[in-house]
Structure 1
Amino acid sequence: MRSEPKTLLAWLCDRDRLPYRRFEEKFTETGVRLFGHDPHNPTCGETQFRRWTGGKLVTLPSADTCRALEAMWPEYTAEQLFGPPPQDDPQAPALDLEERVRMTAREAHEGADATATASVSDNTIDELHDQVVSLARRYHTLPAALAYEEADNLRREVERKRDRTQVPAQQQQLMILNGQTVALLAVAAFDLGYFPSARTLARTAAVYGESSRFVPLQAFADGTLAYIAYHSGDASEAVAKANRALTYGGLGDVAQHRLHSIQARAYAHLGDVVSAQRAIHLSEDAGRDRRDELHDAVGGEFGFPGERLAMSNSTTALLVGDAAQAEADARRALSLLAQRPQDQQSAHVRAGAAADLAYARLLADDVDGAAEALSPVWEVPADQRNTGIVVRTARIGRRLARPAYHGAQLPTELRERIEDFTRVSPPYRLGPPVPLLAIEG
């Protein structure tokens, strides 16, 4: 049985999935970032790591070691890191009555379903469908790590039910649900900065869509593959994926808007301004009141509301150098978002549009205006600072690092705040370094 962590440092390593080898790599990287490539940088052997996490230190280690550890977890001091772990997980939500009722309902349903023999009740499939819809619609409120866990648990449950039925119609329904959970896993993996895994999961979702003849899922997965591609520096592949998805029949207007928006971004990365602008125009077309069973009927993370479209097109406008259009689209995204009920407002969209607005103002050398626009960004909780937000703020940081701003107080303060903001984000803290090649919408 695994023992309880003895120190806050041990608790954080467990939380962030940092066994000794990964901890040592990050510790060394942090030392290089702080002190340069100096042979006297602090190091940590495995025995020392066991002492640090085992609560066996009498005095704190060297000042440089403490500084490196505090840079890895800026929200804590060295004294706190070597002190006792928290009594309660601050990231774990309190078990309220609504959650208790939901758990009881699920347990009761599972108990009833277990009485079946080699078949699956249609009610069970309906329940799984409702759970997929619920997760898709709650996705914008969840930290990506938690969304990933929920989606993976749901995927396992769907697969268990698929193993219990030989009814073709039920097999197809469960295959579609399985594909939808995998598609959500792909989005969450991307938000966490795990691009190779996100690509594999998106391809898996596409296979489920193809096997079940559920075209909207194929289109969504190809769109996801497209934006993973241009984030990975392969704009040509991104254009190809988006173009292929747009050839599928049976897609609703929302799906078309999403795919044209992704297509526009891919063309912008290729430097094809004319094609990018044409794709933007198509993404904003009023449509023909067409709907499909994924982007519309399920919606949520599979949807693409007006504010998200405006935010994405703002980013594309920045990439092609149209700062005025970028500012207009970012403002429109924020305005549309503000019209929604509070519980339906996406922190990702608000922060993304605000960052685009700030960058557009920086292009006009309006640093004060950029600082004002960034206000909503700082409000995003650390565990919801996903890849899209991190990449956007990093781009602003690079702009503020230009020689023209050296020595100026406000640009320096903003750049340092962006570094602190990024350092505790999941893509930086949990995943590999995020390629800062694009700005995701």
Structure 2
Amino acid sequence: MTSPRTLFHQLVERDGLTFAEFADDYQRTANLLLQETGDPIYRGAAVSEMSFQRWKKGDTSMPRRPAPKILKRMFGHPAKELFGPNSDGQTPALPTRPMLDESELRMTARDARAHATEAAAQILPDLSIDQLEDDLARLVRAHTSTPPHDIYLQVKEVLELAKVMLDRTQRLSQRGRLYLAAGEASALLGGCAFDLGLPSISVELLRAAALYGELAEHDALQAYSYGYLAILAYWNGNPTQAVRHVTTAQQFTDVGDAGKARLAAIAARAYAHLGRVDETRRAIQLTMEDRGRRRDAIHDDLAGEFAFSQERVAMSNSSSYLLLRDGAGAESSARQSLQLIAASTTDTVPFVVAPQASSDLAMALLLRRDLDGAAEALAPVLTIPRQWRGAGLVERLDAVRGELVSPTFRDSLPATSLAEQIEEFTAVAAPRLLGPGVARLAIGSGDVS
């Protein structure tokens, strides 16, 4: 047997690749790069057996585009290493085969499922869409107890698969289901992006969700998406635009009582940012009205991150009261939220609600100069892991810190110490590490999503 002349030759020999197997892998990798980059140079990329044999022998100059990038993806080494000469004349050292990890296994499973879906040609089995919807429902519900960066990566896979499926079917009933799934995935990704401190990306994803909702003719998805766009608008310092978005959201009729309460809470926050006291209080009152039996597929059936429980209602209202500098109203609402969470017998309340309600409670107590009470409210908040320190919580704590360093507490050593703890806590939060600096108003808004 001829000794290996190049690293490429060694890798092919190690894996026992025939030309047919190599050609299949090459084409599959080109298709993946086409999907990832959109660069048409990868469309239809193939390799001849003559080129394959020349590459094995090392009797070639550097391959032309797009071969270098395809080969790098396949083998994990740039073309210069795969085909480059060895100055000492020795056979290149064979790299150690990498150990399998969970991400590789997940990719294999995803590719297998995608390939099985593709094999169904232009008529998808309904079971394929059933599985997609089940996966998405699981992630929507898991989001309440899973850090956003973990959820983001998994939901991205669901969205990509939904897009592939849309290209594989012309059946209207199936396309409607897939548009809805793609919209729900985009909305969930938008919420994750906001939590990670990337509001501009969140806006793009929520706009996509609204458009998917329009294609699916689904009122509840459109209402949810426009409501979240309103959140992002006032969070970015545009409360007037937020009012326009929430007004649009409220025009969709096929929305359940929970969804309407959510929109009322968002409206209250937008009005509070504008200092429109009477409209804020009316909107808060709407959030507390008894809920009837009217349900919808987003806020009630799918629920999870899309739900709007009474705990969230009370916590959101506390933030609106704080914007009005109504400490008594904020304290009452924040305590109500925490009491409801403590009394809950299920694990459906999102993990982020209690820390945000506690932060609002601390701010309300500072407004009546109860520094000890504020420190007690913040004690459990300042111990939560970094991956849970989302944008809504960081904004609230920034507001608390601003109050602690105000003239009211300027000469208080405990206040200074607490402010320093908050600064250290938020310095390593995801929004600080990832998010660009943007204009923000006094209180964040991740709670009413």
TM-score (norm 2): 0.73
CA contact (8 A) 1:427 1:433 kept: no
Displacement of 1:340:
2.8
1:253 correspondence with 2:257: yes
| Identical residues among aligned pairs (%) | 40
Displacement of 1:106:
7.0
1:220-241 residue CA offsets vs partner (Å, 9 max, x unmatched)? 0000000101011111111111
Q: Give the structure 2 partner of residue 234 of structure 1.
A: 238
1:349 correspondence with 2:353: yes
Distance in 2, matches of 1:130 and 1:185, equals: 17
CA contact (8 A) 1:347 1:380 kept: no
CA contact (8 A) 1:395 1:436 kept: no
Displacement of 1:339:
2.5
Q: Give the structure 2 partner of residue 371 of structure 1.
A: 375
- The answer to which of 352-361 and 234-243 deviates more is 234-243
Q: Give the structure 2 partner of residue 184 of structure 1.
A: 188
Distance in 2, matches of 1:345 and 1:198, equals: 23
Q: Give the structure 1 partner of residue 218 of structure 2.
A: 214
- The answer to which of 142-151 and 128-137 deviates more is 142-151
1:239-272 residue CA offsets vs partner (Å, 9 max, x unmatched)? 1111121121111001001000000000000100
- In structure 2, relative to structure 1, the CA distance for the partners of 1:103 and 1:340 (3 Å cut) is farther
Displacement of 1:112:
5.0
Structure 1, gaps ≥5 residues long: 2-93
Distance in 2, matches of 1:400 and 1:180, equals: 40
Distance in 2, matches of 1:424 and 1:434, equals: 18
Distance in 2, matches of 1:339 and 1:316, equals: 24
Displacement of 1:186:
1.0
Displacement of 1:124:
0.8
Q: Give the structure 1 partner of residue 167 of structure 2.
A: 163
Q: Following superposition of structure 1 onto structure 2, how do residues 274-293 of structure 1 map, counting pairs within 5 Å?
A: 274-293=278-297
Structure 2, gaps ≥5 residues long: 1-6, 8-100
Question: What secondary structure, in the 3-state scheme, does the structure 2 residue paired with 1:294 have?
Answer: helix
Aligned length: 346
1:391 correspondence with 2:383: no
Distance in 2, matches of 1:299 and 1:270, equals: 30
1:87-108 residue CA offsets vs partner (Å, 9 max, x unmatched)? xxxxxxx97xxxx9x9998787
Distance in 2, matches of 1:170 and 1:345, equals: 32
1:119 correspondence with 2:123: yes
Displacement of 1:383:
1.2
- In structure 2, relative to structure 1, the CA distance for the partners of 1:123 and 1:422 (3 Å cut) is same
Distance in 2, matches of 1:243 and 1:123, equals: 38
CA contact (8 A) 2:114 2:161 kept: no
1:150 correspondence with 2:158: no
Q: Give the structure 2 partner of residue 403 of structure 1.
A: 407
CA contact (8 A) 1:428 1:434 kept: no
Question: What secondary structure, in the 3-state scheme, does the structure 1 residue paired with 2:344 have?
Answer: coil
Q: Following superposition of structure 1 onto structure 2, how do residues 12-91 of structure 1 map, counting pairs within 5 Å?
A: none
Two-structure CA RMSD over aligned residues (Å): 2.3
CA contact (8 A) 2:359 2:378 kept: yes
- In structure 2, relative to structure 1, the CA distance for the partners of 1:157 and 1:110 (3 Å cut) is closer
User: Could you say which structure has the larger radius of gyration?
Assistant: 2
1:102-153 residue CA offsets vs partner (Å, 9 max, x unmatched)? 9998787656545422221101101111111111111122222222212211
Q: Give the structure 1 partner of residue 145 of structure 2.
A: 141
Question: What secondary structure, in the 3-state scheme, does the structure 1 residue paired with 2:369 have?
Answer: coil
Question: What secondary structure, in the 3-state scheme, does the structure 2 residue paired with 1:433 have?
Answer: coil
Question: What secondary structure, in the 3-state scheme, does the structure 1 residue paired with 2:301 have?
Answer: coil
CA contact (8 A) 1:317 1:325 kept: yes
Distance in 1, matches of 2:183 and 2:308, equals: 19
Question: What secondary structure, in the 3-state scheme, does the structure 2 residue paired with 1:166 have?
Answer: coil
TM-score (norm 1): 0.74
- In structure 2, relative to structure 1, the CA distance for the partners of 1:382 and 1:113 (3 Å cut) is same
Distance in 1, matches of 2:108 and 2:211, equals: 34
CA contact (8 A) 2:162 2:178 kept: yes
User: Which of 291, 295, 316 is the matching residue for 2:299?
Assistant: 295
AA paired with 1:305? S
- In structure 2, relative to structure 1, the CA distance for the partners of 1:434 and 1:378 (3 Å cut) is farther
Q: Give the structure 1 partner of residue 425 of structure 2.
A: 421
Displacement of 1:287:
2.8
- The answer to which of 321-330 and 107-116 deviates more is 107-116
AA paired with 2:263? L
CA contact (8 A) 1:252 1:291 kept: yes
Distance in 1, matches of 2:107 and 2:257, equals: 36
Distance in 1, matches of 2:437 and 2:385, equals: 20
CA contact (8 A) 2:305 2:350 kept: no
1:431 correspondence with 2:424: no
- The answer to which of 404-413 and 366-375 deviates more is 404-413
1:33-52 residue CA offsets vs partner (Å, 9 max, x unmatched)? xxxxxxxxxxxxxxxxxxxx
Q: Give the structure 2 partner of residue 202 of structure 1.
A: 206
Distance in 1, matches of 2:331 and 2:284, equals: 15
Displacement of 1:303:
0.8
CA contact (8 A) 2:304 2:348 kept: no
AA paired with 1:347? F
- In structure 2, relative to structure 1, the CA distance for the partners of 1:404 and 1:323 (3 Å cut) is closer
Distance in 1, matches of 2:320 and 2:256, equals: 23
